[in-house]
Copies of this chain bind each other. A is one copy, B any other.
Amino acid sequence: MNLITGRQLYKNYKEYDQQDVEICGWVKSNRGSKNFGFLIINDGTFFNPVQVVYDKELDNFGEAAKLNVGTAVIVTGTLVATPEAKQPFEIQAKSVEIEGSCSFDYPLQKKRHTFEYLRKIAHLRPRANTFQAVFRVRSLVAYAIHKFFMERDFVYVHTPIITGQDCEGAGEMFQVTTLDLEAAVKKGEINYEEDFFEKPVNLTVSGQLAGETFAQAFRNIYTFGPTFRAEESNTTRHAAEFWMIEPEMAFADLEDNMEIAEQMIKYIIGYVLEYAPEEMKFFNQFVDKGLLERLHHVAESEFGRVTYTEAVKILEQHNDQFQYKVSWGIDLQTEHERFLTEKVFKKPVFVTDYPKDIKAFYMKMNDDEKTVAAMDLLVPAIGEIIGGSQREDSLEKLEKRMAELGMDPKDYDFYLDLRKYGSTRHSGFGLGFERMVMYVTGMANIRDVIPYPRTVGKCKY
């Protein structure tokens, strides 16, 4: 079939002026009168729909006038540029064929629906305006990320989803098994020798450690894949299944790490502003009024830098404004993070050199032996969007830290090998993909930026 897309029409309508075109789409609205009518259709390739005008000359005028919202149609007609009208062109129909009718109980009638309602029909909601915009922007953000790293010669690595590592945050992991659980209960025994991998395995919570093994071979790598947390927290920012981007760079220190993170965030914002201007305007108008201004501001700012210790000194002066009081050693809460980036710096800011006790074992110990070379990026309206660090590259220090934390080095033999065989100063960070999509769209609930969200008690389809 040779059907011109809505996007092609919008891009090239001047070329098509006065020419016959064949297009397709789903009916968004249909206003008919006795002698003519307007059909608004959209084929999903472009945010703005196409207006089709039809009149009595149409063979099936009576049928066309009765088309329900949701019907799939194929229209041939003449494209006419309409420089004076709201839309830049319209199609004067010569034929309107029904590709697929739409039942009268179509749940997406032309009216506003709440996001809660739409979540219950996740298989239909991408047809609604907001979700057309969300999921196209989600797709563009994903591509922008690949493009950013590929232009810089990073190697994309698929780190494993099923993992035998269960060391970090084991309590929050999903177990993966092929055991017949009912049979095991009857037998009164779990025999892992009968399981697919002959031992208990889990879904990954992070590709970082595997990513590091590839950075020590390719210098610059990134992962982009699903990760899983079996956290029971029922918030607007947590899902059990989400995607993460984890770059990892050999011969790179904390400075290099922040520089790449800053460039990446700006690149993504620039990309969606350039390639989804209609969607971004929609979000700014209907979802989050200050969105465009905020994003432009971020794209143009030089991100701030402050150590955790300095940040705590600043925040302590405003402890009266916080629910959770600040003092050296605490993990910063969203209220503190937002205060720093929104009120103090008024732009994105990297907080660096956190106390070792609130950060992961693999972060590089600073000379003070109290802090580690960590960095979190805080952005207005969200708080933390990126967390990263320089990694400990000294075998001795890493082993010492693991011993302090009671970790078994045998579980990390592959990871320790990296420090034995040509260790390098190296750094990396993690970006929660959905957080980024929320950030650039202004959508407030993570369930509304994931095609089929998985949260506690919820796994439909």
Contact = CB atoms under 8 A, between A and B. Distances in A.
Interface of A: 1, 3, 5, 7, 24, 26-27, 43-45, 70-72, 74, 99-103, 106, 108, 122-124, 126-127, 131-132, 135-136, 138-139, 142-143, 146, 150, 153, 155-165, 174-179, 181-182, 184-185, 188-190, 196-199, 201, 203, 209-210, 213-214, 216-220, 225-226, 228, 230, 232, 240-241, 243, 250-253, 255-256, 393, 414-415, 417-425, 450-452, 454, 456-461
A456 B197 CA distance: 6
Contacts of A197: 454, 456-459
A217 B142 CA distance: 19
Contact of A184 (B108, B156, B181): B181
Given A139-B156, A160-B452, A165 B461 contact: yes
A138 B161 CA distance: 17
A159 to B, nearest CB: 6
14 contacts: A70-B422, A99-B422, A100-B419, A101-B422, A122-B414, A123-B210, A123-B414, A126-B218, A127-B217, A135-B157, A142-B146, A160-B241, A184-B185, A210-B452
Given A139-B155, A143-B146, A177 B174 contact: yes
Contacts of A176: 174-176, 203
Nearest to A98: B422
Given A196-B456, A230-B178, A424-B99, A45 B213 contact: no
Contacts of A103: 420-421
